[in-house]
Structure 1
Amino acid sequence: MRITQGTFSFLPELTDEQILKQLEYCLEHGWAVGVEYTDDPHPRNTYWEMFGMPMFDLQDPAGILLEIKNCRSTFPNHYIRVTAFDSTHGTESVVLTFIVNRPKDEPGFRLVRAEGPGRTMRYGLESYAVQSRPEGARY
């Protein structure tokens, strides 16, 4: 299962050159860029771990790409994303996110159904990342 979160998630993996172009776009608009990582990309898990500090004053996209590469080497089996913040409205608003690294085997999710009173059904998602069973042995 391929996680589809953020911009470009339905496209093939971005190359480092394409990532560099996106970083240039962010810096041209004056956005601060941060690098985040997680091993549990549940859609409600919006707060990923920060890798270093957000780069508010950095104007060279190559420096941000170096930080991405450092995060990839530190956490090769995690999801890594770039997040761009716009502070022109007085608050830090996320304006762009995209995934720049995925684990080799993406764990995916399963649909959990619970019956309620009467004929009501409630549905939720459970991440396979929280289970220790390998792919193919999850059901």
Structure 2
Amino acid sequence: MSEAVAYKSAERRGETFSYLPPMTQDRLRKNIAYLISQNWNPAIEHTEPEKSMSSFWYLWKLPMFGERSIERILGELEACHRANPGQHVRLIGYDNYAQSQGTAFIVYRASGR
């Protein structure tokens, strides 16, 4: 059995994927494709790094109800990141049936955070 590694308290973790290596563009596309295949509605949020543990992030435009294009979702993620360069940007998939979030993960982290 391998030895447990101590968690570095200086490192802030935002969600499950933050414990994995940084997400590649290919992996991001696969996650967006999964979100679409589940018929979840994508939405984009952003916030300052010091407020990232808060429940309230700023909504970037309205949720993209019924959007089926990976390219459009990627384009909106990049536009949000360009407009808010010092902030974290996350993608959410809203599940209409369960009336909750099906997924949520940070796509862009503020540099040095």
Q: Is this a same-fold pair by TM over 0.5?
A: yes
Higher strand content, 1 or 2: 1
Q: Does 1:73 align with 2:82?
A: yes
Q: In 1, distance between residues paired with 2:90 and 2:20?
A: 15
- Which string of whole-angstrom CA distances, capped at 9 and with x for unpartnered residues, describes residues 77-113 of structure 1? 1011111110113x3x01211111111122xxxxxxx
Query: Alignment RMSD, CA only?
Result: 1.4
Map 1:1-139 to 2 at 5 A. 1-39=10-48, 40-43=50-53, 45-89=54-98, 91=99, 93-106=100-113
Q: Please identify runs of 4+ aligned residues in structure 1 that moved more than 6 A.
A: none
Q: In 1, distance between residues paired with 2:109 and 2:15?
A: 13
Structure 1: unaligned runs, 5 residues or longer: 107-139
Higher Cα radius of gyration? 1
Q: Identity over aligned residues, as a percent?
A: 26
Is this contact kept in 1: 2:14–2:52, CA < 8 A? no
After TM superposition, give the deviation of residue 15 of structure 1 in Å.
1.9
Judged with a 3 Å threshold, the aligned counterparts in structure 2 of structure 1 residues 29 and 73 are, in CA distance, closer, same or farther, namely: same
Q: Secondary structure at the match of 1:72?
A: helix
Is this contact kept in 1: 2:95–2:102, CA < 8 A? yes
In the superposition, the TM-score normalised over structure 1's length comes to 0.68
Q: Secondary structure at the match of 2:18?
A: coil
Q: Which amino acid in structure 2 is aligned with residue 34 of structure 1?
A: A
Is this contact kept in 1: 2:39–2:66, CA < 8 A? no
- Which string of whole-angstrom CA distances, capped at 9 and with x for unpartnered residues, describes residues 13-38 of structure 1? 21222111101000000001111000
